[in-house]
A and B are shown apart, each in its own frame.
Chain A
Amino acid sequence: MTRPTTDFLLAGVGGQGILLAADVIALVGLESGLDVKKSEVHGMAQRGGSVTSHVRWGEHVASPLIAPGEVDYLIALERLEALRYADQLRPGGTLLINDYRIVPVSVSSGSDTYPGAEDEEKAYAGAIERRIYVPAMSFAQKLGQARVNNVVMLGALSALLDVPEDTWLKVISGRVPDRYVELNQRAFSIGRAYSATHL
């Protein structure tokens, strides 16, 4: 049985561009003629805290929130946040991880420990087969604008979905300021090419 909805969970740190990335995914669904819902919270959560956004596509979408265990694609803009939300994936779901760490204050000035690569491997191995580390931040920095690392991640996601590339590019062009359209399109293409060859 095919699932009635396709469910995306985006996770990262306040200020990383989660809301824009979620907007783009939702608008691509709308452009593709689907029913779409998207949910996130503003305010307190944005101040460097852990931030998530839910996006759902389908013929008909009721709840704006995805139930844990029903996420098809987890798009994590930060490695710790990937680990935090990875158990929200359904068995067989896909994990896209921006290969980038943002150390929380609880580690830098407290006694908490940031999990290492071996902790990640231990958690994911055997549980999440479809996972890709995308060096989105280093691609973005090479493009001269660290902020577009979210769009690199969108490109990486797009290669896994059955939606024409033009639809993504059109939505991104409409959603970012004119002078940044070309930069964002390049960021998107780099991400798309990367995940197409690394899954």
Chain B
Amino acid sequence: MKRLLSGNEALAHGAWEAGVRVAAGYPGTPSTEILETLAPMPGVYAEWCPNEKVALDVAVGAAYAGSRSLAVMKHVGLNVAADSLFYASITGLEAGLVIICADDPGMHSSQGEQDSRRYAKFARVPCLEPTSSQEAKDIVGVALDLSERFDTPVLLRTTTRIAHSHGIVELEPERALPQRQEKPSYRVDPTKYVMVPANARRRHPVIEKRISQLAEYANSFAWNQVEYGDRRLGIVTQGVAYQYAKEVFPNASFCRLGMTYPLPARLVADFAARVERLIVIEELDPVIEEELKLAGIPCEGKSIFPLIDELSPEVVRESAIAAGLLPESSRPTRLRLERPPLPSRPPVLCPGCPHRGIFVALRKLKVVVNGDIGCYTLGSLPPLTALHTCGCMGASIGVAHGVSKAGIQQKNVAVIGDSTFFHSGIPALLNVAYNQSSTVTIILDNRTTAMTGHQQHPGTGHTLQERETSPIGLEPLVRALGIRQVYVVDPYNMSQVEGVLSECLAGDDPSVVIAQRECALLPAARKAYMPLRIDSAKCIACGTCRRVGCPAISKSDELYQKNARPKSRIDPLSCTGCEICAQVCPANAILFRAQLKEEAKPARWEHNK
């Protein structure tokens, strides 16, 4: 059966076909859809964990207990899970363990580019990379086999253009997963699994030997393939870069690596000997290039192709032209259009976003805001410009604590989302309570993991597989961490928000403000949409409403006579009726919901008709 699948969907089908029983992860673009696709499949247990480290520990545990297992995360998630990757490499497992890590070259939705293949060498585990959706499906089983054969976790690395590109995949007909006849018993082996120094010392030589055995095996590994064409140019490549290279150099000779660590040194040396010029085309770091050079195989890579940003057919072609590998005439003819400078269209907080009011208040209070990872990072953009740091998941509270201990003039505030707080904000808030700083922490509780597409988390009361569970309340949790001043506010209520924030900022004790309002894109919120309207006669064209940065508000064609400036208008198709603009309007020109309802009421005499 042929289906059009994204790389992520294909990975999930591959995991299911290969008999993965336990899968765990934390949402992160571009990896999220893998677990979402796998979760409803029969015979699989899949869960969202509070963070990637927990997810990897869960997968390790299942593999210790004899089940094929999967941990899924984005590149920066593997940083969080790195500690667990290293011990899992040292202990090995009882059944296959694959860690799917999705890198984001070009940073479409990430705070940084990093090449996770570096972790493979660092932790002495093999790294596999698919070049298409079909390969993504097929490679999961290969990775699990490799994991079991060599007693090692396997890193399966994808990138955005594999994860979110769709291609045709041949799927096996649907079938029930073979059920186990009886529950296996847990195999106890302390010298292998209890990593106290005495045991770890014995294990270290084992994993060094394992990686050299893998390097030898790589030479005959079926996924490392050589395709001979024109032998004047030989290209060593991986992942989606292979597809770009094929597009730009359709006739060249190719050495395509399905395993990019450890490198099949003999295979590539043999290929190198049969071509005139050897180049490496790989996205991000020169991982293959460095290994080739260490193996004494001369090649060119990052001297031709960029280290920064994602590759594309255009980037590969232009780099090749600059290096004299292709003639200038290979460039497609481009249209030359005479255009004025075009306005940018950066991502913005959605109409009705519950974060908007908080940032409007923070801007007014002129405080330093230490931010975190989530939709609310958009609070840093104009016209709000009310978020001043953002580094990684969970960093906001620790950074804010540090800022407040540094003795600066301004007060400062940490903002963090609900899912991000569960992910890694908890120990940082514990530190605020323990070491007592005046840090004000705002938890933007929109009842979901919004940025990645509305995944469940410990606060929502539902699991990935849609089972009901007890929702973890933020207020009792925060109090249990030792914070005494805790306020719950409605972020649509501007005066309440401003009042509570001012009170918190005036004090010297640590405080937490939980701004609770569900994401405006959730079904329940959608049901309550009610577009507002501007009474044009009252509008004084001051632009205050437009400075809340709502995409539903724009300049009207109508000018205010006194200052000849454009009045404002509200797009009825996108306004949700959150009333933030109505609350900041100094002329009371924006009608509140209650006013609109009053207006819509038929006059008394109409009832009698």
Interface check A44, CB cutoff 8 A: yes
Task: Specify which of B108, B312, B573 is in contact with A44 (CB 8 Å cutoff).
Answer: B108
Interface check A59, CB cutoff 8 A: no
Chain B 583-605, CB within 8 Å of chain A: the 1/0 string? 00000000000000000000000
Task: Specify which of A45, A90, A105 is in contact with B549 (CB 8 Å cutoff).
Answer: A105
Known: A37-B166, A106-B346. A43 touches B338 (CB 8 A): no
- A residues 67-82 with Cβ under 8 Å of B? 67-70, 80-81
Q: What are 15 A-B pairs at a CB distance below 8 A?
A: A23-B166, A26-B4, A38-B165, A38-B166, A39-B165, A41-B29, A42-B109, A46-B347, A64-B161, A86-B335, A90-B335, A109-B543, A109-B547, A112-B341, A115-B342
Q: Tell me whether B339 and A42 are in contact (CB under 8 A).
A: no
Q: Please, how many angstroms separate the alpha-carbon atoms of A62 and B239 in the complex?
A: 12
Q: Tell me whether B29 and A42 are in contact (CB under 8 A).
A: yes
Which B residues lie at the A interface, using CB under 8 A? 2, 4, 29-30, 32, 108-109, 160-161, 164-168, 240, 243-244, 246-247, 312-314, 317, 331-350, 375, 378, 382-383, 451-453, 543, 546-547, 549-551, 553-555, 573
Q: Tell me whether B332 and A70 are in contact (CB under 8 A).
A: yes
Task: Specify which of B2, B348, B453 is in contact with A49 (CB 8 Å cutoff).
Answer: B348
Q: Tell me whether B30 and A43 are in contact (CB under 8 A).
A: yes
Q: Tell me whether B554 and A108 are in contact (CB under 8 A).
A: yes
CB distance from A98 to the nearest CB of B (A): 14
CB distance from B299 to the nearest CB of A (A): 22
Given contacts A67-B313, A107-B554, A123-B338, 15 further A-B contacts (CB under 8 A): A13-B345, A26-B4, A39-B161, A62-B244, A62-B247, A63-B244, A63-B312, A64-B243, A67-B247, A67-B314, A68-B334, A69-B334, A70-B332, A104-B346, A106-B345
CB distance from A90 to the nearest CB of B (A): 7
Q: Is the interface of A mostly helix, strand, loop or mixed?
A: mixed
Interface check A87, CB cutoff 8 A: yes
Q: Please, how many angstroms separate the alpha-carbon atoms of A197 and B46 in the complex?
A: 52
| Those 7 A-B pairs whose CB atoms lie nearest each other, nearest first | A43-B109, A43-B29, A112-B343, A49-B347, A64-B165, A69-B332, A47-B347
Complex interface: chain B residues within 8 A of A128 (CB) = 335
Q: Tell me whether A39 and B344 are in contact (CB under 8 A).
A: no
Interface check A152, CB cutoff 8 A: no
Q: Tell me whether A30 and B2 are in contact (CB under 8 A).
A: yes
Interface check A148, CB cutoff 8 A: no
Complex interface: chain A residues within 8 A of B348 (CB) = 47-49, 105
Task: Specify which of A14, A49, A63, A84 is in contact with B243 (CB 8 Å cutoff).
Answer: A63
Q: Tell me whether A119 and B339 are in contact (CB under 8 A).
A: yes
Q: Please, how many angstroms separate the alpha-carbon atoms of A15 and B451 in the complex?
A: 14
Interface check A133, CB cutoff 8 A: no
Task: Specify which of A23, A41, A61, A81 is in contact with B30 (CB 8 Å cutoff).
Answer: A41
Complex interface: chain B residues within 8 A of A40 (CB) = 164
Q: Tell me whether A42 and B382 are in contact (CB under 8 A).
A: no
CB distance from A168 to the nearest CB of B (A): 15
Known: A41-B160, A63-B244. A112 touches B344 (CB 8 A): yes
Task: Specify which of B166, B452, B553 is in contact with A108 (CB 8 Å cutoff).
Answer: B553
- A residues 85-116 with Cβ under 8 Å of B? 86-87, 89-91, 102-110, 112-115
Q: Please, how many angstroms separate the alpha-carbon atoms of A25 and B570 in the complex?
A: 33
Complex interface: chain B residues within 8 A of A124 (CB) = 337
Task: Specify which of A30, A83, A107, A110 is in contact with B4 (CB 8 Å cutoff).
Answer: A30
CB distance from A130 to the nearest CB of B (A): 12
Q: Give A125's nearest chain B residue, CB to CB.
A: B338
- A residues 51-67 with Cβ under 8 Å of B? 61-67
Q: Tell me whether A86 and B343 are in contact (CB under 8 A).
A: no
Interface check A173, CB cutoff 8 A: no
Q: Tell me whether A80 and B345 are in contact (CB under 8 A).
A: yes
Q: Please, how many angstroms separate the alpha-carbon atoms of A65 and B311 in the complex?
A: 10
Interface check A20, CB cutoff 8 A: no
Q: Give B167's nearest chain A residue, CB to CB.
A: A37
